[in-house]
């Protein structure tokens, strides 16, 4: 159910779909962005939680100005899901699961390939020279190549899942790696400060156009990054286990971006930070956590939410709080029935299921935003540390 409020001195309308009350800190952050220059609408998703500058789980609409903090530094971070021509019983035996867990860090390295020679080249159409700045082009030529097809740390993951018919699926969550951060930092350095202290660029200036072009590049890079990991993992599945991915089941979406969209007849810049586009019948992927269900969805095209929905369950505890409150044994108990590398338990506590909101409550809060088409339970999880 949505809630509406007038945001301070601004004409921006804030609408929210909440699974639990907003904390004071989150409310203050939402009100700050709603009062910012040129912001006309704000939609708050049920997975909202505090982050630097602008909360994760926020959708911001402007007419002319663009706000890099409302996109974040992991530009194009998103989800890829694909079916596998095998049942979940493939991973029933511990030895099979162990073999797969051993192979995944090589197929999808957590941070980078060993060197440029072992790294894939940038895909066709993703030219480093297309970036707006020579330093970014140099980053793309080296870091962009050496990190393409790598997972990253934090909440990024590779997960094998079973649907309600016990069919096996693969889900990958990752983003634009070093390139997104470099693009964000480069443009924030040249941005001006709007009301409330947020960095802002004018979309009708050369600087604003350069940022938007680089965002598009980073989104394409992030998508290519996920697809390169898919290619490598698919090769492992076929060569070691004799099973294949099913190409026509692929879903690929991102949830950190800014793009021009028309809403109620008006062209607006729609910023989504930890929020997914959910136009009518648009496919999407919403993960839960390491030990809880994830979902394939389609959008309902809710105009009030700026055609958006949550991108996940959303954090309940900060990473620091989770590390202090959740020990390795508690994590292992919460992941009962899910294969993962238990040797890493002490380093994965911040990603424990109890560090996240109840994903079922999140879906109840956004039932007018999205519909569930498939529910999946985790079978095997790999996270980079």
Tell me the HSE value of 125 on the side-chain side, using a 13 A CA sphere.
Answer: 7
Domains of the chain: 2-316+356-382 (3.90.1860.10)
Nearest-angstrom CA–CA distance, 271 and 62: 8
H/E element, 184: helix 177-189
Straight-line distance from the first to the last Cα atom of the chain, in angstroms, rounded to the nearest whole number: 37
Please identify which residue in the block is written with the tokens 């390139």.
Answer: 179
Could you give the C-alpha distances from 295 to 74, 127, 171, 348, 357, in angstroms and in order?
22, 34, 10, 22, 15
Nearest-angstrom CA–CA distance, 289 and 312: 8
Could you give the C-alpha distances from 377 to 101, 163, 166, 182, 337, in angstroms and in order?
18, 6, 9, 35, 10
Assess contact for 158 and 172: CB atoms under 8 A.
yes
pLDDT, position 385: 82
H/E element, 61: strand 56-62
Nearest-angstrom CA–CA distance, 201 and 303: 26
Given the residues 49, 257, 307, 311, the one annotated as active site: 311
pLDDT, position 8: 40
pLDDT, position 121: 80
Q: Is 66 exposed, middle or buried (0-12, 13-18, 19+ CB in 10 A)?
A: buried
Nearest-angstrom CA–CA distance, 248 and 197: 46
pLDDT, position 11: 67
Sign of CA dihedral 164, 298, 287, 177: positive
Tell me if residue 178 is catalytic. no
For the chain (length 385 residues), average pLDDT per consecutive 10?
49 93 95 95 97 96 98 98 98 96 96 79 89 96 94 95 98 98 97 90 98 98 97 98 98 98 97 98 96 97 98 94 95 96 94 96 97 98 91
């Amino acid at each position: 159910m949505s809630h509406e409020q007038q945001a301070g001195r601004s004409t921006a309308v804030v609408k929210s779909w909440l699974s639990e009350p907003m904390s004071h800190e989150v409310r203050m952050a939402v009100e700050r962005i709603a009062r910012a220059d040129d912001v006309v609408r704000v939609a708050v998703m049920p997975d909202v939680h505090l982050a630097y500058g602008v909360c994760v789980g926020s959708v911001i609409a402007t007419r002319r100005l663009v706000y890099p903090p409302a996109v974040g530094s992991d530009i194009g971070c998103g989800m890829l899901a694909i079916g596998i021509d095998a049942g979940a019983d493939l991973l029933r035996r511990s030895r099979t699961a162990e073999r797969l867990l051993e192979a995944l860090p090589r197929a999808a390295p957590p941070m980078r390939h060993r060197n440029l020679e072992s790294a894939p080249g940038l895909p066709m159409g993703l030219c480093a020279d297309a970036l707006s700045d020579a330093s970014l082009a140099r980053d793309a030529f080296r870091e962009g190549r050496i990190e393409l097809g790598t997972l990253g740390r934090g909440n990024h993951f590779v997960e094998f899942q079973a649907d309600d018919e016990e069919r096996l699926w693969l889900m990958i969550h990752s983003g634009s790696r070093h390139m997104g951060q470099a693009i964000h930092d480069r443009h924030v350095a040249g941005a001006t400060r709007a009301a409330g202290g947020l960095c802002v660029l004018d979309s009708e200036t050369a600087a604003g156009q350069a940022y938007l072009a680089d965002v598009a590049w980073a989104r394409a890079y992030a998508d290519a990054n996920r697809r390169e990991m898919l290619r490598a993992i698919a090769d492992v599945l076929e060569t070691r286990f004799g099973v294949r991915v099913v190409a026509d089941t692929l879903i690929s979406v991102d949830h950190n971006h800014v793009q021009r969209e028309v809403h109620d007849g008006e062209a607006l810049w729609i910023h989504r930070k930890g929020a997914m586009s959910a136009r009518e019948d648009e496919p999407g992927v919403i993960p839960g956590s390491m030990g809880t269900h994830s979902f394939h969805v389609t959008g309902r095209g809710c105009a009030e939410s700026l055609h958006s929905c949550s991108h996940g369950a959303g954090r309940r505890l900060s990473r620091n709080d989770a590390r202090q409150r959740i020990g390795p044994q508690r994590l292992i108990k919460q992941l009962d029935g899910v294969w993962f590398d238990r040797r890493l338990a002490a380093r994965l506590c911040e990603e424990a299921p109890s560090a996240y909101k109840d994903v079922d409550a999140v879906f109840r809060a956004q039932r007018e935003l999205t519909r569930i088409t498939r529910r999946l339970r985790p079978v095997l999880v790999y996270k980079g540390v």
